[in-house]
Amino acid sequence: MEKNFDIIIVGTGVAGLFAALHLPQDKRIAILTKADLDESDSFLAQGGICVLKNEDDYAAYFEDTLRAGHYENNRESVDIMIRSSQDIIRELIDFGVEFERDQGEFRYTKEGAHTACRILYHEDLTGKEITSKLLEQVKKLPNVTLFTHTIMVDIVEQDNTCYGIVAELEDGTFALLYSDYTIWACGGVGGLYKHSTNFRHLTGDALAISMAHNITLENIDYVQIHPTTLFEKTQGRRFLISESVRGEGAILLDKNGERFVDELLPRDLLTAAIREQMKKDETDFVMLSLQSMSSEEIIKRFPNIYQTCLEAGYDITKEPIPVVPAQHYFMGGVKVDSDGKTSMERLYAAGETACNGVHGANRLASNSLLESLVWAKRAAIAITERYCPVDFEKCRERFKNIENHLDTRYQPYESRKEEHCIRLREQIEKERENREKIKHERIDEFEYR
Residues that bind ligand FAD (CB under 6 A): 10-16, 32-35, 40-42, 44-49, 126-127, 151-152, 185-187, 197-198, 201-202, 205, 240, 329, 351-353, 366-369, 372
Asked if residue 137 lies in contact with residue 93, where contact means CB atoms within 8 angstroms, the answer is: no
DSSP letter for 192, please. Answer: G
Considering the complex, what minimum distance in angstroms separates the CB of residue 381 from ligand FAD? 17
Nearer to ligand FAD, 13 or 260 (CB): 13
Phi then psi dihedrals of residue 139, to 5 deg: -60, -25
N- to C-terminal Cα separation, the chain: 66
Asked if residue 81 lies in contact with residue 230, where contact means CB atoms within 8 angstroms, the answer is: no
Considering the complex, what minimum distance in angstroms separates the CB of residue 433 from ligand FAD? 26
Contacts with 126 (C-beta within 8 Å, 6 or more apart), sequence order: 45, 46, 47, 48, 49, 120, 369
Distance, in Å, from the CA atom of 92 to the CA atom of 48, rounded to the nearest integer, reads 13
Distance, in Å, from the CA atom of 127 to the CA atom of 187, rounded to the nearest integer, reads 14
Nearer to ligand FAD, 180 or 243 (CB): 243
Distance, in Å, from the CA atom of 375 to the CA atom of 15, rounded to the nearest integer, reads 8
Distance, in Å, from the CA atom of 358 to the CA atom of 333, rounded to the nearest integer, reads 12
- Determine if residue 20 is left, alpha or beta; phi over 0 gives left, psi from -120 to 50 gives alpha, anything else beta: alpha
Helical (H) or strand (E) element with 379: helix 368-386
Nearer to ligand FAD, 38 or 407 (CB): 38
Considering the complex, what minimum distance in angstroms separates the CB of residue 215 from ligand FAD? 14
Considering the complex, what minimum distance in angstroms separates the CB of residue 34 from ligand FAD? 4
DSSP 32-72: E-SS-TT-SGGGG--S-EE---SGGGHHHHHHHHHHHTTT-
Active site residues: 267
Considering the complex, what minimum distance in angstroms separates the CB of residue 160 from ligand FAD? 21
Considering the complex, what minimum distance in angstroms separates the CB of residue 376 from ligand FAD? 8
